[in-house]
Structure 1
Amino acid sequence: MPQPDPRIATRTHPAFLALGCVGFIASAPAAAQSNEAASADAPKTFKGVTVTGTAITDEGYKAERIESPKAVAPLLDTPRSIVVVDKQIIKDTGSATLVDALRTVPGITFGAAEGGNPIGDRPFIRGFDSQGSTYLDGVRDIGAQTREVFAVEQIQIVRGSDSTLGGRGSAGGSLNVISKLPERETFIAGSGSYGTADYKRLTGDVNYRLSDSIAFRVNGAWHDQDIAGRDAIFQKRWGIAPSVTIGMNSKTRLTLAYYHLHTNELPDSGIPYLYACSTTVCNAPNGYTLSQPALGKVTTASGTTGYVGRDTFYGLKDRDFRHSNTDQATMRIEHDFGTVKLRNTSRYSHTYQEYIFLLPDDSTGNVYGNPANLTGQPGGQVWRRANTRFGYTDSIINQTDLYGTFETGSIKHSFSVGGELSWEKSDRGAYVLATGSTISPRCSALAIARFYCTSLFTPNPNDAWQNYTNDTAAGTLTAITKGASPTHTINNANTKSVYAFDSITLTDKLILNLGARYDDFKSKVTLPFFLIDRPIVRRDDGIFNWQAGAVFKPTPNTSFYASYATAAIPPNSLIGEGQEQNSLGTLPTTTTAATYASAVAALQAAANDALKVEKTKSMEIGGKAELLDGALSINAAIFQTKSQNSRAIASDGTVQFIGAKRVRGIELGFNGNITDKWNVFGGYSYLDARITDGGFTALTVAANGAAAATTVAVPSVNTGRRFPQTAKHNFTIWTDYKVTSAFSIGGGAFYVSRVYGGYGDNRTATQTTAGVITVTPATKTIARSIPGYWRFDARAGYKINDHVDVSVNVQNLTNKTYFSQAYTSHYATLAASRSAFATVNFRY
């Protein structure tokens, strides 16, 4: 499909199409949502208040179970740590994206984009990257994307090793987004918001009951905002999600659904770290240094002092952009056989994104400067490195589930068995443009004149950047182009899976929970190459995972449990849609037509014999309780997760699977209603996350006389360090209190302790003319990190009548300057400053 020119700003869309269609068509990709809702005429009770019809109701924050055929027991009887973020929490917190909604859940942090990791949601659960473990209505949703919530019913977070439930990946847990689908009650609802930083948002939700058996629903959204406290950055998007269910009152039901989301934005990459440290340049002080983003008052190596404000943006309006499209079509067929149900779900998904994304680069020491070469590198400069990507991800998935209950004597079974067939493909390339990457020193006069580099203190996003044929002074102007087909990387994956779960009630006090899954995962990658046929590398993995748990219930409203679960991440599991630590490899850059055959053979042999499946094991004990007549749920868990077979450099300099990680932690949670006027949601997590074996690092040894250049392996600086992108302490609470029947106030407090991005040191290696190698120990070590923070939000709401209410949300109430994402190197992302918006909600 034709894609827009990246140099043309697409800031005028058919943006209101989503809302213009709201009165005509209906909701998001098919969900695992029950069609057994009460009829429109039946009264409903929320927190002790009985309402009827289409009145706006406060439904509370407590979920009884997760909506999935694989969920074979209520939350109280499930031996796992599970959190459900319901639509009421999403509404009250003023969340517009998945990231917004998940800030209320402790133990989840978010990683940033980089050259090897595309822009999109990148959640870390219990310290493990879960970008490839996100599901939509129980079906894998792998394409890199920024997810909206306008068509979301709830978000389910299952913590702990979780490949039994979802398949490959899920080392620390998984996310399952549940969509809004047709309901039996006819209604029309919507909201309109306006606020600071030119915040504008409209949503619509129309559900029409055509007959006793057919209902039609459509959700739509249009969103446009600048980012509070950040210069030049904007976000625009619109989406629509229609669906129809036929046979709502019958044993056989058919649901058809479609989802489309379009985004247009100027991406934000935040602030560069102050210090760089590697074998080639290390400008940090001696010893151990926390290298934080260069924010506030900064003095460079040459003694120049300046101020970097929170609004500082190093990007270029004339160059940087991001466009994306997500399209998903779903068909679900269900049939009831008494207490047993059969469900088949088929989905086609297409995600496309293209971007030129500024990465404020510090890799040559240009931010702080080089104390040993102040003339050439005085500091105070940021390289405007351009990370680029364009491409798509397609998937076709068919999933069949048979689930229900039966009894064998006095023993009760709640079971689910199923199978999955999937085909996935990704195709990605890069834009061809000059960025100053070949200029040395990096921020030379030419680089500054062409806006490849800019001032650390006074960057101008309106700089008249132009593209040249090359980085030399003789370069001529040329258009930005997309890389030719031979430069693309194409990944294909096919999966065949079978799985089974059973919750076995032995007595009223003792429940066993068992699960197993087998995946046959076949993957291949077509690599870039110009000189001869493009190389193809293949891999086939058979993966078995299982989980087992026991639940003891001393009373009907309390439970204690112990569980064990596994997860597996096969090579190429993300098919290029994330930071692939276990890819199938690439051809050496020195490959020629003459060495092509041997290089491809070696690559395939390594894929067959050297690559291994990364495995994790989780052990967990915990307790849950339903208090206040079931209105309030509390839970606690202690756990340990160990990972092995992570890809790392061995002592002989080769890639081996010796890496190991370990997380030990505590989680506390609460959600529900303390009184019929007071809702709460939140919790606390403590994560002791360590890299127990980071393998080795290869140091380059320069040639010396007759001794040729070589490399030597030294223990990795990561060994013994904390996991990147993982907070040790994380506390969240959101609460809402009804002062009167019409007026309510609420707010949230969120604490995240220090998060590390990555580590570096200045070890070097030299050799004599006889080839005797000497490793010089590190005198400087840096830990790139962002400081911990408290953030506070506030909300006030007023119910005008049964059909209209208004609310005001203030986010980051104290205007705290903090960072929301820390990447491994180069930069960290700044969060928005204080913002406020008012919302009008209606429902008829």
Structure 2
Amino acid sequence: MRVSGSPRAEFDINSPYAHPHVKSLDGISRTDDPLLQGVKVRVGGPGRTDPAPPKTSGRIVKGEAVQRSLRILMCASALTAPALLASPALAQTGGEGAEVAELVVTALKRESNLQDVPAAISAVGGPELEARGISQPSDLQFVVPSMQAGRLLGQTAITIRGVGLNQGAPGVAIHADGVYQPRPSMGDLTQIDVERVEVLRGPQGTLYGRNANGGVVNFISRAPGDTFEGYILGSYATYEDSRIQGVINVPVNDRIRVRLVADRWQRSEGFVKNVIPGGQDVDKGKSASARLRVQVDVTEDLTWDVAAYGLTASGPTSYFTLYNTPTPLSVSRNPYLANAIVPLKPRRNSANDLIAANREFGGASSTLTWELGEAQLKAISGYSRIADREDRDDDSINVSAFPAHRRERARTFTQELNLSGSLGPVEAVVGAFYMRDHKYEVLDYDFFLGIFPLPPNSDLFFETYKNLSKAYAVFGDVTFNLSDKARIIGGLRYSKDKQSVAQRNYLQFGNLAPRTITCPLQTNDVTFNSTTPRIGAQYDVSEDSNLFATYSKGFKVGGFNFSACNQQFRPEKVTSYEAGWKNRLLDGALTLNVAAFYYDYTDLQLNQTVGLTSLITNAAAARVKGVEVEGAWRPDRHWTVNANVSLLRAKFTDFRNVDSLAPARGAQDVAGNYLSNAPKTSINVGVAYRSDPILAGGPITARADLSYRSKIYFREFNDPLDAQDAYAILNAALIWDSPDGTYRVRAFATNLTGEDYIVRMGSSDNFGSRFVSWGAPRQIGLELRANF
């Protein structure tokens, strides 16, 4: 059962986070709560008939983390269950049925029931995001199968099924309200007032095109509604972590609706501590962001949705910590490294140079939706500007070996037109896409102490005056219904990507010395063409169960390395075979989905730092295969269980490369080694219990979320120091809602057992070490919310 107002809003009556007064159809029709005025109820069956669309050296976490987390989870349940179940209100209930919410998604560019889409998709609604405290993209890894995420040098990396980010373009495409975000850092700017997040796993080359080999993450913000409402939210957690957020929704008249959200966040105590007395702690900062969204019914059939948004952020967020002491070779080349202090405890550094980052971001989007009877025409436009200024200590130790300064400015315009509809047994979407992205970037290293083979007081500049990318694409995707139960799927996308890069690199030995050109100013042009098909079939075993199988291809653009001279890397290509089984069982109380997949990769793009340059290289070939099981269970109206398991085998099949930390080994054959960020096993389990009114007339929701990862490698050489051993993360929350739903109190704890785990890793032969970033430590906090 669902409650909906206009097609712009949808709520799950059975959710443990739903409004406490929403108990039944009758309860809704009689309510005088202003939050529910004008809300309509839609009852839909679960089928296609629904018309609605071991810790070593203090560095790596022990394998015992799983048992410890499970013991804590069971002990907490044992302690809290008797108190909750002893309540008279609870004693009178039990055995009442409930359904898992039927989510409507737009992942395939047309509204569909999540269970009907022939693809591996996870969707998380706004209420669940809020209850779990998911406030940034990296938190999604504890909800979505086969997903890994983490930040390094201020940039968030997302990988799905072992495929993801490099320093060029992302391998997982980010979209916000239908607008493509060309930089992975833009995914950090979308997590306020979100209606839902949709994560498509696997190559999405047909409908999404460039750089979606790993998958797609769609952030959909809450649209303006027909009711005057809003909320104010404030939170405080350990590490002096505070947030204040406000939303107001105003229906100006029958045709115009406005929604404004503003957010202010600050963490004053850094996660990463400096061991040098008086040294700068890092991984802290502050940000302020806002979004104004206006929706206008131009006519009964034409809607215009326009948004403007902006963010400013600052703080020492662009950092890393060293993971091993410098190698003898690096010390022999740069003797000052012998006296460096290299703390190896998690989240520790000895940096002595300034670490600071400032970001300014702004943009606007426009979506025109024209209903044409059995068809719908959309025009989606987006424009954004981003400016980053970073000062970094790129050695992270108490010697001024690599102070760095980075500046980047970029502006992007995108335009998409798509037409979707049905004609007889055919359902189709066709469209066209255009993008123009222009970027300027400079990176300046100050080698005060010198760096082999450069003398002291050397400066090295990498400068890209113009990095202009233009992308053009046309696409189509068709579903032909052979019968009420069987359908075939076909899609095709043709893309052309043009790049023009004007760059130069130079050295300077002292401020007054003339420049020594290492790469003269030059412009390099390249064009990439790709054709990415999708073919498949789907069969409804029953009204509540369907099978699907698809064949598809993906394409990730190549380009030129920023810190080299006219050095090109090739596009990455993938061929995917996938089969799935989707089920609604127990009268809708259980959803159970299974996906099996097999990928063949050619020219997989990887990062490697060699000498003074960071390069993107191509692995010859890789193979990924795995199985995912994802489910949600609502045994009654109190309990909700979400769980997923991913079994993954992601390995190189043909690749030779030189480890810059061990050059004496020569070119190593890494065929058979695991891809980075691709654990063999990952498990996410969440349990929530919502009581009847129990405290001051309001219900309490208790939830716990456990995430487990087996060993993860972060470099293709699979050395023991390249790995993070198995670990588990336990998050918990206790939520009280007032009887009328006006107030909410949420107490929460993240990483409750205080596990230390690596989320990203790189390496540099300059100081002969791996460098890493760590997951967030344990935080405990309180959040207050008032609705109006």
Amino acid in the other structure paired with 1:394: R
1:313 to 325, 345, 349: 349
**Residue 659 (structure 1) aligns with:** 620
| Structure 1 residue 88 corresponds to structure 2 residue 116 | no
User: Which whole-Å CA distance do the structure 2 matches of 1:188 and 1:700 have between them?
Assistant: 55
1:431 Cα deviation from its structure 2 partner = 3.8
**Residue 164 (structure 1) aligns with:** 206
2:432 to 419, 424, 436: 419
**Residue 340 (structure 1) aligns with:** 375
User: Which whole-Å CA distance do the structure 2 matches of 1:648 and 1:100 have between them?
Assistant: 24
Q: Check the 8 A contact 2:487/2:539 in 1, yes or no.
A: yes
User: Which whole-Å CA distance do the structure 2 matches of 1:46 and 1:399 have between them?
Assistant: 39
Structure 1 residues 502-537: Cα deviation after superposition (integer angstroms, max 9, x where no partner): 222222221222221111111111111576972111
1:554 to 541, 550, 564: 541
- Given the superposition, is the C-alpha separation of residues 818 and 38 from structure 1 closer, same or farther in structure 2, using an over 3 Å criterion? closer
1:636 Cα deviation from its structure 2 partner = 0.9
1:746 to 690, 699, 703: 703
Q: Check the 8 A contact 1:212/1:248 in 2, yes or no.
A: no
Amino acid in the other structure paired with 2:387: Y
Amino acid in the other structure paired with 2:771: Y
- Given the superposition, is the C-alpha separation of residues 647 and 553 from structure 1 closer, same or farther in structure 2, using an over 3 Å criterion? closer
1:675 Cα deviation from its structure 2 partner = 2.4
Q: Check the 8 A contact 1:662/1:691 in 2, yes or no.
A: yes
Structure 1 residues 410-467: Cα deviation after superposition (integer angstroms, max 9, x where no partner): xx22221111111111111124534534279x9xxxxxxxxxxxxxxxxxxxxxxxxx
**Residue 254 (structure 1) aligns with:** 304
**Residue 789 (structure 1) aligns with:** 727
1:280 Cα deviation from its structure 2 partner = 6.8
- Given the superposition, is the C-alpha separation of residues 552 and 282 from structure 1 closer, same or farther in structure 2, using an over 3 Å criterion? farther
User: Which whole-Å CA distance do the structure 2 matches of 1:797 and 1:638 have between them?
Assistant: 37
| Structure 1 residue 625 corresponds to structure 2 residue 596 | no
**Residue 176 (structure 1) aligns with:** 218
2:526 to 522, 539, 555: 539
2:486 to 510, 519, 531: 510
| Structure 1 residue 690 corresponds to structure 2 residue 651 | yes
- Given the superposition, is the C-alpha separation of residues 699 and 76 from structure 1 closer, same or farther in structure 2, using an over 3 Å criterion? closer
User: Which whole-Å CA distance do the structure 2 matches of 1:134 and 1:34 have between them?
Assistant: 28
- Given the superposition, is the C-alpha separation of residues 227 and 793 from structure 1 closer, same or farther in structure 2, using an over 3 Å criterion? farther
User: Which whole-Å CA distance do the structure 2 matches of 1:313 and 1:400 have between them?
Assistant: 49
| Structure 1 residue 36 corresponds to structure 2 residue 75 | no
Q: Check the 8 A contact 2:419/2:429 in 1, yes or no.
A: yes
- Given the superposition, is the C-alpha separation of residues 799 and 435 from structure 1 closer, same or farther in structure 2, using an over 3 Å criterion? farther
2:286 to 230, 236, 258: 236
Structure 1 residues 668-709: Cα deviation after superposition (integer angstroms, max 9, x where no partner): 1123634222223331111111111123449999xxxxxxxx
Q: Check the 8 A contact 2:402/2:447 in 1, yes or no.
A: no
1:723 to 670, 675, 679: 675
Q: Check the 8 A contact 2:384/2:412 in 1, yes or no.
A: yes
| Greater share of residues in helix | 2
User: Which whole-Å CA distance do the structure 2 matches of 1:35 and 1:428 have between them?
Assistant: 45
- Given the superposition, is the C-alpha separation of residues 314 and 181 from structure 1 closer, same or farther in structure 2, using an over 3 Å criterion? farther
1:65 Cα deviation from its structure 2 partner = 2.9
- Given the superposition, is the C-alpha separation of residues 195 and 827 from structure 1 closer, same or farther in structure 2, using an over 3 Å criterion? same
Amino acid in the other structure paired with 1:690: K
- Given the superposition, is the C-alpha separation of residues 279 and 65 from structure 1 closer, same or farther in structure 2, using an over 3 Å criterion? farther
1:235 Cα deviation from its structure 2 partner = 2.3
**Residue 405 (structure 1) aligns with:** 422
User: Which whole-Å CA distance do the structure 2 matches of 1:329 and 1:38 have between them?
Assistant: 22
**Residue 161 (structure 2) aligns with:** 126
Aligned positions of 1:64-463 closer than 5 A:
64-68=103-107, 70-71=109-110, 73-113=112-152, 119-130=154-165, 131-132=170-171, 133-145=173-185, 146-226=188-268, 230-231=272-273, 232-233=281-282, 234-247=284-297, 250-267=300-317, 269-274=319-324, 308-310=344-346, 312-316=348-352, 319-360=354-395, 385-407=402-424, 412-431=425-444, 433-434=446-447, 436-438=449-451
1:335 Cα deviation from its structure 2 partner = 1.0
SS of 1:92 mapped into structure 2: helix
SS of 2:483 mapped into structure 1: coil
| Structure 1 residue 836 corresponds to structure 2 residue 788 | no
**Residue 736 (structure 1) aligns with:** 688
Q: Check the 8 A contact 1:206/1:217 in 2, yes or no.
A: yes
Q: Check the 8 A contact 1:69/1:403 in 2, yes or no.
A: no
SS of 1:758 mapped into structure 2: coil
Q: Check the 8 A contact 2:434/2:471 in 1, yes or no.
A: yes
1:272 Cα deviation from its structure 2 partner = 1.7
- Given the superposition, is the C-alpha separation of residues 816 and 502 from structure 1 closer, same or farther in structure 2, using an over 3 Å criterion? same
**Residue 487 (structure 1) aligns with:** 463
- Given the superposition, is the C-alpha separation of residues 700 and 340 from structure 1 closer, same or farther in structure 2, using an over 3 Å criterion? closer
SS of 2:492 mapped into structure 1: strand
Amino acid in the other structure paired with 1:426: K
SS of 1:91 mapped into structure 2: helix
Q: Check the 8 A contact 1:239/1:261 in 2, yes or no.
A: yes
User: Which whole-Å CA distance do the structure 2 matches of 1:238 and 1:823 have between them?
Assistant: 30
Amino acid in the other structure paired with 2:307: A
Q: Check the 8 A contact 1:185/1:207 in 2, yes or no.
A: yes
User: Which whole-Å CA distance do the structure 2 matches of 1:648 and 1:744 have between them?
Assistant: 44
Q: Tell me, which stretches of 5 or more residues in structure 2 are unaligned?
A: 40-97, 274-280, 507-516, 608-615, 694-698, 765-769
Q: Check the 8 A contact 1:361/1:383 in 2, yes or no.
A: no
User: Which whole-Å CA distance do the structure 2 matches of 1:322 and 1:637 have between them?
Assistant: 41
1:739 Cα deviation from its structure 2 partner = 2.2
**Residue 499 (structure 1) aligns with:** 475
1:190 Cα deviation from its structure 2 partner = 2.5
Amino acid in the other structure paired with 1:405: S
SS of 1:100 mapped into structure 2: helix
Structure 1 residues 73-107: Cα deviation after superposition (integer angstroms, max 9, x where no partner): 43222221111122122101112212123432231
User: Which whole-Å CA distance do the structure 2 matches of 1:585 and 1:38 have between them?
Assistant: 47
Amino acid in the other structure paired with 2:415: N
Q: TM-score, normalised by structure 1?
A: 0.72
SS of 1:122 mapped into structure 2: strand
Q: Check the 8 A contact 1:637/1:667 in 2, yes or no.
A: yes
**Residue 767 (structure 2) aligns with:** none
- Given the superposition, is the C-alpha separation of residues 139 and 496 from structure 1 closer, same or farther in structure 2, using an over 3 Å criterion? same
Q: Check the 8 A contact 2:342/2:349 in 1, yes or no.
A: no
Amino acid in the other structure paired with 1:818: Y
Matched length: 668
1:727 Cα deviation from its structure 2 partner = 1.7
1:161 Cα deviation from its structure 2 partner = 1.3
SS of 2:591 mapped into structure 1: strand
Q: Check the 8 A contact 1:642/1:662 in 2, yes or no.
A: yes
Q: Check the 8 A contact 1:72/1:501 in 2, yes or no.
A: no
